[in-house]
Each structure stands twice: as C-alpha cells, then as structure tokens.
Chain A
Amino acid sequence: MTQKNRITGGQIDRNTTCKFTFDGRTYAGHAGDTLASALLANGVRLMGRSFKYHRPRGPMTAGSDEPNALVHLRSGARTEPNTRATTTELFDGLTATSQNRLGSLSFDLLAVNDRLSTFLTAGFYYKTFMWPAAFWEKVYEPIIRRAAGLGALSFEDDPDVYDKGFLHCDLLIIGAGPAGLMAALTAARSGAEVILADEDFRMGGRLNSETYAIDDAAGADWAAALVSELANMPNVRLLPRTTVIGAFDHGIYGALERVSDHVATPDAGKPRQILWRIYTQKTILAAGAIERPIAFNNNDRPGIMTASALRSYANRFGVAVGQRTAIFTNNDDGHRTAADLHAKGVKVIVIDPRADAPRARDYEVLAGAQVVDTMGRLGLTFAKVCLADGTERIIECGALGTSGGWNPNVHLTCHQRGRPSWNETLAAFVPDGLPAGMTVAGAAKGDMSTAGALAGGAQAAHSALDLKGRMLAMPKAEDAPVNITPFWYVEGASRAWVDQQNDVTVKDVKLSHQEGFRSVEHLKRYTTLGMGTDQGKTANIGGLAIMAELAGKTIPEVGTTMFRPPYTPVAIGAFGGRHRGQDFHPKRLTPSHKWAEEQGAVFVEVGNWMRAQWFPREGETTWRESVDREVLATRNSVGVCDVTTLGKADVQGADAAAFLNLIYCNGFAKLPVGKARYGLMLREDGIAMDDGTAARMAHDHFVVTTTTANALSVYRHMEFVRQCLVPDLDVQLISTTESWAQYAVAGPNARRVLEKIVDQDISNAAFPFMACANITVCGGLRARLFRISFSGELAFEIAVPTAYGDALIRRIMAAGAEFDITPYGTEALGVMRIEKGHATGNELNGTTTAANLGMGRMVSDKKDSIGSVLSRREGLNRADDLRAVGVKPVDPTQPVPAGAHLMISDGPVNAAHDQGYVTSACYSPNLGHHIALAFLKNGDDRIGETMRLVSPLTDVDVQVEICSAHFIDPKGERLRA
C-alpha cells in the first residue's frame, strides 16, 4: 500500500486518504485524485486490455479524451462498464475491476489475438468469416463477441435515480479554464445570469496542471480564488462535474451533471446524475484543447501517454509516472513537460525530431531524433530511439510522453452543421461556422497561450453581452507563441497505434487507402477509427493526416468526420430520468377507482387510464367466469360501469351546431336541444377517424364525446378545424374529460335504479332514447344525464362533478342493491358492444370508411363535412368493398379469433383469395358460443354464407357462418324500452 510514485505538490488533499480496490487489490490514494492518478501513484500502469488484440494498456491521457483506461466501476447492480479511470474522482471505498480480459489482467488468454494480428486487420470481419454462411451465427459471431469488445453490463436493475431539469441563463460558459473563468468574471460583474459548466470536479482547466503563474499566484491558486469569488455571486451558477454534451438549436444545450458519482452511493432520493437542458441567449465555448499523440511502433504500452498527461499527473496529482521519463515532441510545449518533470526531480530526456529543437541546460535533448520502437511486456521499460545521425539508442524509461501538438476542442462548434477550418500555424483544425449565439475563446479557438486565453475569454464575454464599459484589467501570464512542425507518425511504422481504443494502426489506415476506402467517412467505417467511447478525440487527426499523405492531399482537403452529440458517453438512465418502471408514465385514475379497488377489481391500462377490467367474486377462478357473469347480470337486470375515460369536450357558441356539422360526416344542425346523436368523424381522406356522441344541452352548447384512445388527437383536430378552417365561426372548445365523473347504468332495471337518484322524471315518455339534459341528483347536485347505450340495453350515462364521483358510485350501488346491480369492467363492456355490433378502435382502425362500417348512408351529401368529398371517390366505393358483418362458428365450441382471415370454403387459402378479416372477437354468454365482428368483401350480400376462418400462423382453421353484426336485439327494442 505504498504510493511509490507519489511526489510533492499538486492539488490533492494529503490529509484525506481514500482506500480503494482495483482487481481485488487494495490501494490508497487521496481526495482530489482520479482513479488513474491514484493507481499510477501506486505504480500501477496496466489498467486494461485493448479492444481487438487484447494488448496491455494504461492511461494515455488525464482527462475525458481517454481511450484506454476503461474499467468497471463499482460492483453489483451499480457496476458501470467503460468508465474512464482518468475522470473517475476517487472516493473512499471505490472498487474497480479491469475489463475485456479472459483470465487476469496481466495474463489475458485472449492476448493470443495479438499474435494473430496479421489476420485481424481492418475489414477482417467482411473478408474472413464469409463462408459457410451458417457458421456466422453459430460459430464466428459468438467467438468474436466474446473476444472483442469493452465492458459488460451487470444485467441488474440500476438502483440509482436520475433527474432531468431545465436551466435558463443569459450566458452559458463551457469550460472553466483561464478563458472560461475570465469570461465568467466579466459577465458576472455585468450582472448577467451566468452558468459556468466544467466536466472536471475541480474548476480551473489546464491551470490546475501547469506551473506557470498568473500575476503573483500559482495558476491553480488564482483559479481557485476566482472560482470562490464567482461562487458567492447570486447571478452565477457554477456547475462542476458537468459535461455539456450537445449544442442544439436556438441556444439549447444538453449538460450532464454527475451529482453523486464521487460518493460511494447517492443519498436516499438524491439523483446520481441530472441531465440539464440549458436555455441560453449566448454561449462561450472555452473547452480548451486536446494534445495529440505521435504514432510509432508499439506506442501503446502502459506508461506511454501524452506529454500533457504526464504534466497533469505530476503538477496536479503529485504523481511521477516513471522515475525515468522520455518526452517525444515535435513542438515547444513538449519541452514544458520536460522542464516541469525535471523540476520535480524526475530524470528526463527529450527526443525532438526537429533539428532546431530548443536546448535545455538540465537534461538531455536529442534533436533530430525519433522514437522508433518500445519494449516492455506489461508496461514500458525501454524506448528505442533513432538519432539524427541514423544510429540507434536504447533509453531506459518507465514513462514516455508524446506531444504531437494540440487540437482545439471544436466538438460542440460542429453540432449545428459547422465544419472546422485548418490552421497552418497550429497544424490543427480551428472552429468555423459556429452555432448561432456561440463564440469560442481560449485554446478551443486556437489561442494557446495563457495570456491569450485570459484576454480572449474576457473579450468574448464583453462582446457576447454587448457590454459598454471597460474591460477588466488582465492579470499577467505567460504568452509563448506556438512553435510546431507537423509530425504524425514515424516513417516505417506499421504496428503503430493511431486509435488505441479501436486498435487501429497505421497499417490499417494504409490498408483502408489501398482498398479504396479513402473518404474520411469510409475510413472511419472500414477501420472503426474514431468510434467507441472516446469517439477518436486523440485519434482522428492522426488518421486523417496519414490518409492525406497517402492520398497526396492536404489535411483540410481530406476533412473531418461529423461531430455529433453527446460529447462524452451518457448513461441511458440519464436520458430516461424518472420515467422508468412504475413511473414510466403517469397514471390516470377514474373517480370510482378507490371504490373499485375495494371491490377487488382487476385493472387494465388504457392509455394512461387504469380501468377496471373485471370484478372477480369469490369462487371465480378465471376471468371469463367473472366477465360472463357481469354480462349476463347486466342484460338480465342492471350493471354499472365507469365511462369517465371517454374523451369529453364542451363545444359552445352561436355556431356550435355548424361546427359539429363540419367535423361529423352526419348532420347536427337540426338536432333538437335535449337530444344526443351518434356522430362519425372522417379524416379528410375519407377514412373514419373517431366516433362518439354529441349531446345538445342548449342551442349553443354541445357535449361531445370521443373514444378514450383518441381523446387528445380528436381535440387537436377539432382545434385545427376551428382555428385553421373556420376561424370566424363563433365556437369555443374546452376539454372536460376529467371534470365529470360519468357512469353507464345499463340493463332492464337501469331506470328503476336511477329513478331513486335522479330528481327529475326519467320515464320513457319524459326521457326517451337519446335524450339528454342538465339535471340534478340526490336532492340538488348538478348533473348531466344522457340516454345513450353502448351495450344495447336500456341505458343511461349519468355525470356529476368529479369530486362527487366516489359518492355517486356508492349511491348507485346502494340504489341498485335490490336489483343485484353488478359493476362491470372493460371486458364485459367489450363483450356487450360486440354482441350489439358496435364499432370501436378495432374497427375504426385507420383503414376503414363509413361504408365499410355499414354507415355509408350517414355521410351527408347535403352539407360539407371533413372527409365527405374524398369518401365518395371511386377507390373507396367499389362493388366488392369490405362490409362489417358478424361471424359465428358452425361448431359452437370453436373460437373465432381476432386477426384471422376469411376464405371461401372450397377455395384456395392464400393472400390473393383473402375475403376479409376478423377485427373483434369474444365469447358471448348470452348466445353460448364465440362471436366476432369482421370486415368481409361484399359482406352485406353474404349473410348466411359458410366460410373458412384461417390463421396459418396460429393454426386456426374454423368453419364459420356469416351473420348480421347485431347478435343481440337487432331491432333495438331493448334500448328504447
């Protein structure tokens, strides 16, 4: 448990020790460490195995661009695969395990893949495993899936919760390095509402990893002081541990805040992460830059990383990755790493391919030299260097830093079709074509010096907010120019990794070019360059440069692939937020819900409504027993059903009748006050859309119902017609679905029950079939009564304000006790409507016309209505059109399942001879056999015909007889009783 590579300095809290385990071994680190820095401090460089060749790998970076050091974090249900050790904030009790290995990390059996690398080059899938075809699924794919890949899921329910939220600000600043901090200070002092987000747990950006001073303070201290000043300003919201993952249209940004990832488990009820949607007027992107590596043979051994990562580990985390360290750099910034490490007591040597490389007093600089290969089985031990004079030299080193220059972090500038442009001085892409409202500052823009970043950040805020006052005084900081000679890979290198996460080598890029996959997008798909969790943040540019060289083009001519959100991986749970499991969507409860629960009802979800499906009684063992009983009881005496879920809308105004005339295909203008009418709505293309009733409560007031399922869309359609087609009709709409508790009371004794409740005369003479009225119940409570029937029985629907719904159902049950009133659920409702031949969603299924439904004559030709013109077109009015019919089995014991198709008895059974199909089916306890509704070609003329009902997929082949769809009371005598 010694932290043998721990050196002095850094921003870790040495007074707080965190114990953690990696692959079962216990180590110690400090608060302020990342998992990677703590492991490196303990001398652990090997943290994972590569994707394809299972090569030993350690961290290549100290940030979110990490391709290699991916681990399983935590254990059990909280296991998170592919977590970057380089961004994982260390906490006491952290457990991590390595992934993508067979056996132990240091002895991975699948490392044999590395020996087979000749066969496993880019495109090997497509070439190697082609035949025999059957082998793909059974042999090749399982093996490849086992061998290649990243982490694995726990397959357990995620115990954590995630929130989604909304923030609003004047200025969003992305990145809290020198540019972001200066921008934030400038904006905050102007009084603007500012959000400053940074993916790191410690704000300050590169200042935390550098040794240079700002004014008289160390950069990190200057940043810390500024952060605490900002934290105390009411108009500033600091979001550390927050990654802005996407730039969306019109100033909307997605950001993931890791609220609890730095503790072992979130506090009860607290989210693990919050996915914020940030609305901002202006945005400053100050996301810094990412150092890119140089490709040479075996450049992927643990201990080889970017030079800036070595600098971060030394300066910020107090870790010397190797006591002897080599730096391979093509630019002056690499020499900074050497100087910093040297100052920390590390033995340093610099290899710089530039002949005019800067000299150093205190350590060796090999100008004109290149690293050509490395050695070390599970970690770097030696580097082989080709000197300027062509001779080779072996250098012993435990760490090798590579610096190929810095790429401005342009990712978010490209989410709105922006394409970066090439900057020769930096040898890098810089932002171009920014999303509206965004400006870029600091290294992300290409201002690589600290002074440039500070000034750029302040200037960006000044311009973004259109500030009139003077700029803040700039602190003093280093202002070195960028000095770089582009150098992407060492000549002759082949097993040199360009994309370490996807195991793409220089050789693979060459192969891609050789085989014609030369466009960047093809290169990406062929080699997988730039895919995976890091999306090629350190890899892409190297691949492009090699491709450019091979194709004889410049890098900007080759171009970049698309940058798409999210910037870094986001757990699916964060996108789901609270909407999972029982909370996937809200529940809607009917006014009788509590009462129905007391009756032991079984509920079914209909839309979001929880409706009673049936009410089992003691002794009933199957749902059918309950449903049959409910149906028979209703038809023989009286039943009650909660029908609140039907969509309801009040249609009012002087032109209300004219409006209904337009939206329904049948006429409503002459409907008298106090009467209700069935109405069928068509779509403009002549297809049936929805049906329901409209009840005229007053000359200027209708109550309209829709099906439960279509309530929202029909209301939207009605508003469309009102606002877009007839804007000056005097009609007002409002949804009242939830305002009224509505019960259907049906059966021969329905009137006798309601007479005990309703204050008015509801005799057949006073309140005939299809009557409606505003009434009172129980001695004066306002209510609505409709004499409408879905069951085909004598029936009423009675509605009271929702708050009285519970009381009314209990009163109805009490009043009906002497008639053994029976509550019925949606199943019995369905049976009775099929027995009666009423259409519902199964029949109004988006393909059927009024004529198909047997309601062709309802479509009035005396007035205009939505869909009437196209309902008359030839294609919807053929002689052999489908017609709604009833179907019953010849053998009464046989079921007639929905979805089965009707065929001529002695004809072939195939799609070409299809005669129609069953839409709804049930067992009719009244008839004692199964019945069904169907659409049948020319059905009106085929009543009595015997046909075959088939469903080859479910082995159904039944002899059926076509009959009227009205199985019960075809003359409608019951409902008029």
Chain B
Amino acid sequence: MIIDHPLLGPRDSAEFTYMGDARLIERPSPDSPDAAAAFYDYAYLRDNPAGWHRELWFHEAGDRSWLVVTRNTVTHEISKVEFASDVARAKGRSK
C-alpha cells in the first residue's frame, strides 16, 4: 500500500508501523467518576469494521510522525491521511 504522507507525499506502507484504531487518541480522563469503565473500554474494546476505518500508522522509517489514516479495510482504499497530533488537538487534547 501507499500512504500519502501529509508532508513527504506517497510512501510505501512498509516504512510504517501499524497500531490499529485511531480511537486510541481519545484517552479518557482519569479524573472522571467512571474512569475505570472508560479505561476498560479504551484499552480493550475496539471496532473491527469491514470498511472505512481510522487507524494509526507510525512513520518509523521516515519522519517518526504518527498519522491517522482513513482506510477501507476491504479495498485498502485510503481516503485521508492526517497528522495524529492535529487530530489530537482537534479532539481537545491540547493541554
């Protein structure tokens, strides 16, 4: 597969390390009253869709950036590639 890196352009997926569901960005707050349940969900429960999936790829043999790649797990079509840090900020993860 080819991942179109936001800065470096098309790069072979072999340069990347895969980590699965991009929901891992949405780490729960440890201070919330239901933190234990939320972390259980966060650590163990993942969707495994046949179809579009947002997932985390690490550009190990590149600029060492984590990317959120929107990929169709059936066709391998990739519709969007974003820096995970941008996604994290958009999710309110700025300090």
Q: Which residues of A contact B (CB under 8 A)?
A: 248-252, 277, 279, 417, 655, 684-685, 716, 719-720, 723-729, 864, 868-870, 872-873
Q: Which residues of chain A are near B1, meaning CB under 8 Å?
A: 248-250, 252
A869 to B60, CA, bound (A): 29
Q: Which residues of chain A are near B88, meaning CB under 8 Å?
A: 723-725, 727
Contact B2 A726 (CB under 8 A): no
Contact A869 B36 (CB under 8 A): yes
Q: Which residues of chain B are near A872, meaning CB under 8 Å?
A: 36
Contact B42 A716 (CB under 8 A): no
Contact A684 B30 (CB under 8 A): no
Contact A719 B94 (CB under 8 A): no
Contact A719 B30 (CB under 8 A): no
Contact A252 B66 (CB under 8 A): no
Q: Shortest CB–CB separation between residue B35 and chain A, in angstroms?
A: 5
| A-B residue pairs in contact (CB < 8 Å), sample of 12 | A279-B2, A716-B17, A723-B65, A723-B66, A723-B85, A724-B87, A725-B88, A725-B93, A727-B85, A727-B88, A727-B93, A873-B40
Q: Shortest CB–CB separation between residue A870 and chain B, in angstroms?
A: 5
Q: Which residues of chain A are near B43, meaning CB under 8 Å?
A: 684-685, 870
Q: Shortest CB–CB separation between residue A414 and chain B, in angstroms?
A: 14
- Produce 1/0 per residue, B17-47, CB < 8 A to A: 1010000110110110001100110111000
Q: Shortest CB–CB separation between residue A621 and chain B, in angstroms?
A: 45
Residues A727 and B40 in contact in the complex (CB < 8 Å), given A249-B1, A249-B2, A252-B12: no
A716 to B65, CA, bound (A): 10
A873 to B31, CA, bound (A): 15
Closest 9 CB pairs between A and B?
A: A250-B2, A727-B85, A728-B94, A727-B88, A249-B1, A869-B39, A723-B85, A864-B30, A249-B76
Q: Which residues of chain B are near A719, meaning CB under 8 Å?
A: 58, 64, 66
Residues A728 and B2 in contact in the complex (CB < 8 Å), given A684-B42, A870-B40, A870-B43: no
Q: Which residues of chain B are near A720, meaning CB under 8 Å?
A: 19, 24, 56, 58, 66
A873 to B42, CA, bound (A): 14
Q: Shortest CB–CB separation between residue A215 and chain B, in angstroms?
A: 41
Using CB atoms, name the residue of chain A closest to B89: A727
Q: Shortest CB–CB separation between residue B22 and chain A, in angstroms?
A: 8
A248 to B75, CA, bound (A): 11
Q: Which residues of chain B are near A727, meaning CB under 8 Å?
A: 84-86, 88-89, 93-94
Contact B30 A868 (CB under 8 A): yes
A720 to B84, CA, bound (A): 9
Q: Shortest CB–CB separation between residue B33 and chain A, in angstroms?
A: 12
A248 to B58, CA, bound (A): 21
Using CB atoms, name the residue of chain A closest to B84: A724
Using CB atoms, name the residue of chain A closest to B1: A249
Using CB atoms, name the residue of chain A closest to B22: A724
Interface centre among A250, A277, A685, by most chain B C-beta atoms within 10 angstroms, is A250
Q: Shortest CB–CB separation between residue B87 and chain A, in angstroms?
A: 8
Contact A726 B95 (CB under 8 A): yes
Contact A725 B17 (CB under 8 A): no
A277 to B36, CA, bound (A): 47
Known A252-B12, A277-B12, A864-B31; 8 more pairs at CB < 8 Å = A250-B2, A250-B76, A655-B95, A720-B19, A720-B66, A723-B66, A724-B84, A870-B43
How big is chain B's contact interface, by range? 35 or more
Interface centre among A279, A685, A727, A870, by most chain B C-beta atoms within 10 angstroms, is A727
Using CB atoms, name the residue of chain A closest to B86: A727
Q: Shortest CB–CB separation between residue B56 and chain A, in angstroms?
A: 7
Using CB atoms, name the residue of chain B closest to A870: B39
Q: Which residues of chain B are near A249, meaning CB under 8 Å?
A: 1-2, 76
Q: Shortest CB–CB separation between residue B49 and chain A, in angstroms?
A: 17
Contact B2 A723 (CB under 8 A): no
Q: Which residues of chain B are near A716, meaning CB under 8 Å?
A: 17, 58, 60
A729 to B19, CA, bound (A): 22
Contact B93 A684 (CB under 8 A): no
Q: Which one of B2, B84, B85, B94 contacts A252 once the chains associate, using CB atoms below 8 Å?
A: B2
Contact A251 B94 (CB under 8 A): no
Using CB atoms, name the residue of chain B closest to A417: B75
A209 to B78, CA, bound (A): 43
Q: Shortest CB–CB separation between residue A419 and chain B, in angstroms?
A: 14
A48 to B24, CA, bound (A): 59
Using CB atoms, name the residue of chain B closest to A861: B30
A868 to B76, CA, bound (A): 36
Q: Shortest CB–CB separation between residue A841 and chain B, in angstroms?
A: 20
A624 to B64, CA, bound (A): 43
Interface centre among A655, A719, A723, by most chain B C-beta atoms within 10 angstroms, is A723
Q: Which residues of chain B are near A864, meaning CB under 8 Å?
A: 30-31
Contact B85 A869 (CB under 8 A): no
Residues A869 and B30 in contact in the complex (CB < 8 Å), given A252-B2, A724-B84: yes
Contact A251 B2 (CB under 8 A): yes
Q: Shortest CB–CB separation between residue A956 and chain B, in angstroms?
A: 37
Q: Which residues of chain A are near B44, meaning CB under 8 Å?
A: 685
Q: Which residues of chain B are near A250, meaning CB under 8 Å?
A: 1-2, 76, 78
- Produce 1/0 per residue, B69-95, CB < 8 A to A: 000000110100001111111000111
A870 to B76, CA, bound (A): 34
Q: Shortest CB–CB separation between residue B15 and chain A, in angstroms?
A: 12
Using CB atoms, name the residue of chain A closest to B19: A720
Q: Which one of A248, A251, A279, A869 contacts B35 once the chains associate, using CB atoms below 8 Å?
A: A869
Residues A726 and B19 in contact in the complex (CB < 8 Å), given A720-B66, A870-B40: no
Q: Shortest CB–CB separation between residue B26 and chain A, in angstroms?
A: 9
Contact B95 A728 (CB under 8 A): yes
A277 to B2, CA, bound (A): 13
A251 to B25, CA, bound (A): 31
Interface centre among A684, A723, A724, A728, by most chain B C-beta atoms within 10 angstroms, is A724
Q: Which one of A251, A277, A655, A724 contacts B56 once the chains associate, using CB atoms below 8 Å?
A: A724
Q: Which one of B36, B64, B84 contacts A873 once the chains associate, using CB atoms below 8 Å?
A: B36
Q: Which residues of chain B are near A655, meaning CB under 8 Å?
A: 95
Using CB atoms, name the residue of chain B closest to A729: B95
Interface centre among B64, B65, B87, by most chain A C-beta atoms within 10 angstroms, is B64
Contact A684 B39 (CB under 8 A): yes
A725 to B94, CA, bound (A): 9
Using CB atoms, name the residue of chain B closest to A734: B64
A820 to B28, CA, bound (A): 56
Q: Which residues of chain A are near B76, meaning CB under 8 Å?
A: 249-250
Q: Which residues of chain A are near B78, meaning CB under 8 Å?
A: 250
Using CB atoms, name the residue of chain A closest to B90: A727
Using CB atoms, name the residue of chain B closest to A873: B36
Q: Which residues of chain B are near A868, meaning CB under 8 Å?
A: 30
A110 to B59, CA, bound (A): 57
A726 to B27, CA, bound (A): 10
A864 to B95, CA, bound (A): 13
Q: Shortest CB–CB separation between residue B25 and chain A, in angstroms?
A: 5
Using CB atoms, name the residue of chain B closest to A712: B60
Q: Which residues of chain B are near A248, meaning CB under 8 Å?
A: 1
Contact B84 A723 (CB under 8 A): yes
Q: Which one of B12, B30, B93 contacts A726 once the chains associate, using CB atoms below 8 Å?
A: B93
Q: Which residues of chain B are near A725, meaning CB under 8 Å?
A: 25, 27, 88, 93
Q: Shortest CB–CB separation between residue A653 and chain B, in angstroms?
A: 12
A123 to B76, CA, bound (A): 38
